[in-house]
Chains A and B, each alone.
Chain A
């Protein structure tokens, strides 16, 4: 299974990655190889195998609804590239 250049460009856009033409070239072939590798699974006969919705076999893990202290505001904001006294600051979100 081979990916097209357009598909890679679209995935890059969704991931907000800016790729140079060279990188798109490289990614197209690398991602195709990964897909080909996974595609080998298609050779197996899965007629009698039940579909799996989730990779974990465990189920029903719950926590009680009880407050626990989280991060102080200063700790929470400490990794932010840009902040003020109260908030994270990000480039303007385009409204409308």
Chain B
């Protein structure tokens, strides 16, 4: 594929719902899926005289997230009213943050284990805390006559994370989202469930073209309504091509037309024009007089700092450093979440073989989890049992060829290693037994010995079948190695 004659410039706005019990400014539940309009009160429905009070936990979760994104936390922050009319916004304004956000100027590092792009730092312009709006539904029964409004979601705490336009391909945008989601999951600040709207993505995209050595930018388009990371990737790819076509047709540059908002249609795989974006002054922001500002305290900052824990990027390098797994393997393990990393660490400790523990997890454990749709906490083979399995294979107590069988026996019966081995009739073959068996076989097969001495090591293969016939528990690899060792010892 030849490179397109333009560069794509992408910035992302991510809204993430913070994992609180109650809303940002009132104590109504944030539980998803409740019957419509059963989780509201005078504050979130905007009744006269009701006063909002900031949810402490929401602010703390926002603070931890901002620090994890390497943002600076200005001492002073306040909340503003963003005014617009929409039926799902009962107050006629959204409480958001305008000129003094709670955090700014951070970054998130992204890389690709397959090296399809250079590792880079995507700058985070700001992350601010705001409230969600309600939900409008079109009434299918009454046709287009009415819309129905459910205000349960109104006032739910959202952290809006705005990146700088630092991404240069749909792939980088997807990597940013994947890494951001992983970070949020490690922090436990959100369930990040896209289906339930806990994580929403808008993208700003335009193109840079080279016109006679001069850089020309096309008008910026905001894309909404992307319901998965895959959709984001596809929408951006589509939009870049569309903008290039429009450029060729009209020659419109940035500033020639107002900023456009387009919605992604996942079925048709196209973006469609929505209303023109109002200029930001149209929102007539002003400080919300009902809410007091926050002066962040040293205590609050210290608590946030202490709650960061070990984040994905640090964990990846620690796994490489302490367990000597490859960058790729560390990435796979860390991307599976904290529980899988803990599982790996325990299996590596018990087996004293991190590389094999990582292989087993990637090849067998993750596949079994995928197939059964369970998570690792409920998995039939605990980390300790996997570690013991690996150790016993390494010690020759379990033939390597039967390892997978033992693994699945433990998984299905949720049994210990000893129980699984007993069920399968596997008993350990100690090294004395193994050597005696090999010596016997070599004595009976002088031809094999002379072939090996003449450089044909493969000749040993014929002994393996005989060894297994004599004792089904022997490990073929160990038989091979022991025979070769014995032959070499004899010849010297």
**Looking at the complex, which one of A63, A72, A89 makes contact with B55 (CB distance below 8 Å)?**
A63
Within 8 A of A (CB), among B423-460: none
CB < 8 Å A-B pair total: 128
- Asked if A87 and B40 sit within 8 Å, CB to CB, the answer is no
- Asked if B292 and A58 sit within 8 Å, CB to CB, the answer is yes
A56 neighbours in B (Cβ, 8 Å): 289, 292-293
A18 neighbours in B (Cβ, 8 Å): none
B28 neighbours in A (Cβ, 8 Å): 67-68, 70
A65 within 8 A of B: yes
Q: A6-34 toward B: CB 8 Å interface, digit per residue (1/0)?
A: 00000000101000000000000000000
CA distance A60 to B53 in the complex (A): 10
- Asked if B147 and A93 sit within 8 Å, CB to CB, the answer is yes
B76 within 8 A of A: yes
- Asked if A89 and B149 sit within 8 Å, CB to CB, the answer is yes
B326 within 8 A of A: no
Q: A43-76 toward B: CB 8 Å interface, digit per residue (1/0)?
A: 0000000000111101111111111101111001
A62-B53, A93-B147 are known contacts. Are A67 and B37 too (CB-CB below 8 A)? no
The chain A residue with its CB closest to the CB of B135 is A87
**Looking at the complex, which one of B22, B83, B99, B138 makes contact with A65 (CB distance below 8 Å)?**
B22
**Looking at the complex, which one of B22, B99, B151, B295 makes contact with A88 (CB distance below 8 Å)?**
B151
Highest count of chain A CB atoms <10 Å: which of B37, B282, B297: B37
The chain B residue with its CB closest to the CB of A86 is B36
The chain B residue with its CB closest to the CB of A70 is B41
- Asked if A67 and B21 sit within 8 Å, CB to CB, the answer is yes
List the one stretch of B4-12, B56-64, B210-218, B474-482 in contact with chain A.
B56-64
Expressed in whole angstroms, the minimum distance between the Cβ of B81 and any Cβ of chain A is 12
B55 neighbours in A (Cβ, 8 Å): 62-63, 65
Q: B41-70 toward A: CB 8 Å interface, digit per residue (1/0)?
A: 110110000000111111100000000000
- Asked if A55 and B57 sit within 8 Å, CB to CB, the answer is no
A84 within 8 A of B: yes
- Asked if B37 and A73 sit within 8 Å, CB to CB, the answer is yes
A38 within 8 A of B: no
CA distance A88 to B22 in the complex (A): 22
A58-B292, A59-B295 are known contacts. Are A86 and B26 too (CB-CB below 8 A)? no
The chain B residue with its CB closest to the CB of A56 is B292
- Asked if A93 and B39 sit within 8 Å, CB to CB, the answer is no
Highest count of chain B CB atoms <10 Å: which of A16, A56, A63, A84: A63
Expressed in whole angstroms, the minimum distance between the Cβ of A90 and any Cβ of chain B is 4
A54 neighbours in B (Cβ, 8 Å): 78, 287, 292-293
CA distance A93 to B88 in the complex (A): 10
CA distance A71 to B45 in the complex (A): 10
- Asked if B56 and A63 sit within 8 Å, CB to CB, the answer is yes
B373 within 8 A of A: no
**Looking at the complex, which one of A61, A64, A89, A92 makes contact with B292 (CB distance below 8 Å)?**
A61
- Asked if A65 and B58 sit within 8 Å, CB to CB, the answer is yes
Expressed in whole angstroms, the minimum distance between the Cβ of A55 and any Cβ of chain B is 6
**Looking at the complex, which one of A61, A65, A92 makes contact with B144 (CB distance below 8 Å)?**
A92
Within 8 A of A (CB), among B268-297: 272, 274, 282, 284, 287, 289, 292-295, 297
Expressed in whole angstroms, the minimum distance between the Cβ of B285 and any Cβ of chain A is 12
CA distance A19 to B448 in the complex (A): 105
A62 neighbours in B (Cβ, 8 Å): 53-56, 59
The chain A residue with its CB closest to the CB of B272 is A96
A91 within 8 A of B: yes
**Looking at the complex, which one of A63, A64, A92 makes contact with B146 (CB distance below 8 Å)?**
A92
B145 within 8 A of A: yes
A65 neighbours in B (Cβ, 8 Å): 20-22, 55-58
B359 within 8 A of A: no
- Asked if A87 and B149 sit within 8 Å, CB to CB, the answer is yes
B58 neighbours in A (Cβ, 8 Å): 65
A53-B100, A65-B57 are known contacts. Are A90 and B292 too (CB-CB below 8 A)? no
CA distance A16 to B282 in the complex (A): 13
A59-B295, A76-B45, A96-B263 are known contacts. Are A66 and B21 too (CB-CB below 8 A)? yes
B169 within 8 A of A: no
- Asked if A86 and B35 sit within 8 Å, CB to CB, the answer is yes
**Looking at the complex, which one of A64, A71, A77 makes contact with B42 (CB distance below 8 Å)?**
A71
- Residue positions of B touching A, CB distance < 8 A: 20-22, 26-29, 35-42, 44-45, 53-59, 76, 78, 83, 85-87, 99-100, 136-139, 144-151, 263, 272, 274, 282, 284, 287, 289, 292-295, 297
12 contacts between A and B (CB under 8 A): A58-B292, A61-B53, A62-B53, A63-B55, A64-B57, A65-B56, A66-B21, A67-B22, A70-B27, A87-B148, A93-B136, A93-B138
Q: A73-B37, A87-B37, A88-B37 are in contact. List 4 more A-B contacts (CB 8 A).
A: A53-B100, A65-B56, A70-B44, A90-B147
